[in-house]
A and B are shown apart, each in its own frame.
Chain A
Amino acid sequence: MQRTAIAAPQWGRFVAHVGRWTLGAMRALGDIATWRSHLVPQMRRLGVDSIPIALFIAVFTGIVLALLSSYIFTGAIPLYFVGALVGKTIMMELGPVLTGMALAGRVGANIAAELGTMKVTEQVDALETLAYDPRSYLAVPRVLAATIMFPVVTAFAVAVGVVAGWITAVNLLDLSTQEFWKGLRQFYQFKDVWFGLLKSASFGAAIALMGCYKGLTALGGAQGVGAATTRAVVLGCESILVLDAFWALVLL
């Protein structure tokens, strides 16, 4: 009874906190003049600059998938299914998720560290003093940039991953180009593409939100910034896995 009495005010505070953040986000989104000029630089930093690491991961993912599926299928299933497995898996799952995981480390940590440092060095307070809404000035362009650019990065990663799988299949496996593309095209649906891109957009939004939230709520000095950064990466990765399961349940 006593625990319930204690928990009730905590839940109430949490709900009020969520409401306050939501209303603040709505206001920040409406303050276009403040965040518009920062959107493109953030898209460059969070998206374009992340393409190399995403492609690096995608290349090796494609190679490993082709070899692994060949190892599984040989003797039991026609090898042209390697193309189907590589394409479907990279487009729908590994492309968005691995790219999201990589960018959770790079982008989420970057955002949390940057905003956390600004918070502990009172630059955020200075912005507020200058009548800038820190959410509008700092969080909205990052979240929007991540939401927009994650599908872009994922699209490149998927394309490179499939090409890497194809090159691996042709050069390292007993598989012709025609067979690989036959397997890839036989089971292709347009849903495979937009499903992966939609997931990656949600991953980008979640990672940036976690980074911004942890950064703007960082306390203390450098240690607090480090903790916020770590927590942002962990929460970003967890968000990716939860959202991945959510979209699979809803859309498949």
Chain B
Amino acid sequence: MKRGNEFAVGASVLGALAVIIAGALWLSGADLRGEDRTYPARFRTVDGLQVGNPVTLRGVRVGKVTGIRLTSDDWVVADLTVESPDVELPEKPAVIASSASLFGGWAANIIPLEPLPVDPNVRALLLESDRAGGEAWPGATLPDIGQLTAQASRIAGDIAEVTTRIQGAFDSTALREFRQSVLDLAGISSRLVTFTQAQAARLDRVGADAEVTAGAFANVARNLDRTVARIDSATGQGQFTRILDNGSAASTDLREASADFRELMAALNGQQASLVRVMASMDTLLTRIHSGDGTLGMLATDSTLYRETTATMKQFRELLTDFQAHPRKYIKVSVF
């Protein structure tokens, strides 16, 4: 009986121990082969991530979180234990802690650091953690599902309010007006299409012109290039220097001509006084002629001389006629 008691008690105790140990190991997913690898990951905050949460790679569970601790510089380091020995990790890994379900479960997801995620917040967190250096993998935390749900709830409330307001504003009149507005909008759209097509054709022409202009600009550029080449060539051969020398000589000549011109102008100034005086004398003379003073005045104002001159010329022509007709009357030639 005594031995039977001992056996029963021993079997019970050992059985219970076996149940406890086996159950605990199986439920925790422990690997007794001892090939676990533990990597630290650095976060600003781990939010809902806890010890025991799964570590996933491309959605597949490869381990679990085995430790979380605070470190200096306001960082939190989580130890990620990868239990599968055959798992090939990314060359440069990073970790994103995120909510795994709507009911509070979290997971640490291993991703390659490059390319960086699209989300700017996650990208900034990963870069900040990566800049901290050390062997810890850079980590970022996505917002808790509760925060997202609360945000979504607020947005849903706003949408509901807007919907209610729209429902209140849209009576039958508003609906007719809205329908008319839609029809108007359709007409406007049609005209806009026509206008756009016309503008497109114009733009095509403008494009062609621009192409031609560009060709011309290209020619100008080539000509300018050639000109510059020539200038460069001329500069190289000393022609430009000669041109400058010639310009300098011409400038000297021009200065001398200017000096001569200034002297001429000074002489002209002196002549001007004489001319003024001559003009004054001429004015006096013309005045006297006009008033009939003197011989010239009498010639200008008295017609007697004209008449006598005319009569004289008439007599001279008669004399000349008579001389031509009767030369012997006036000329007598004798040799002896």
Contacts and interface: CB of A to CB of B under 8 A. Distances in A.
A153 B15 CA distance: 10
Please classify the interface of chain A as helix (H, G, I), strand (E, B), loop, or mixed, using the class held by over half of its residues.
helix
A48 B19 contact: no
A159 B28 contact: no
A72 B13 CA distance: 37
A44 B24 contact: no
Contacts of B169: none
B81 to A, nearest CB: 14
Contacts of A152: 12-13, 15-16
A189 B52 contact: yes
A193 B13 contact: no
A40 B12 contact: no
Contacts of B17: 155
B16 A40 contact: no
A187 B29 CA distance: 12
Contacts of B54: 186
Contacts of A188: 27-28, 52
Given A40-B5, A152-B13, A189-B52, A197 B27 contact: no
Nearest to A154: B16
B55 to A, nearest CB: 13
Contacts of A41: 2, 5
Interface residues on A, range: 20 to 34
A40 B9 contact: yes
Interface in B133-165: none
B20 A197 contact: yes
Given A189-B52, A190-B28, A156 B15 contact: yes
A185 to B, nearest CB: 5
A149 B12 contact: yes
A47 B2 CA distance: 15
Interface in B1-33: 2, 5-6, 8-9, 12-13, 15-17, 19-20, 23-24, 27-29
Nearest to B29: A185
24 contacts: A40-B6, A40-B9, A44-B5, A44-B8, A44-B9, A48-B8, A78-B103, A87-B27, A149-B9, A152-B15, A153-B12, A155-B20, A156-B12, A156-B19, A158-B19, A158-B23, A159-B23, A185-B28, A187-B105, A188-B28, A190-B24, A190-B28, A193-B23, A197-B20
Given A51-B12, A193-B20, 7 more contacts: A41-B5, A48-B8, A152-B12, A155-B20, A156-B16, A188-B27, A193-B24
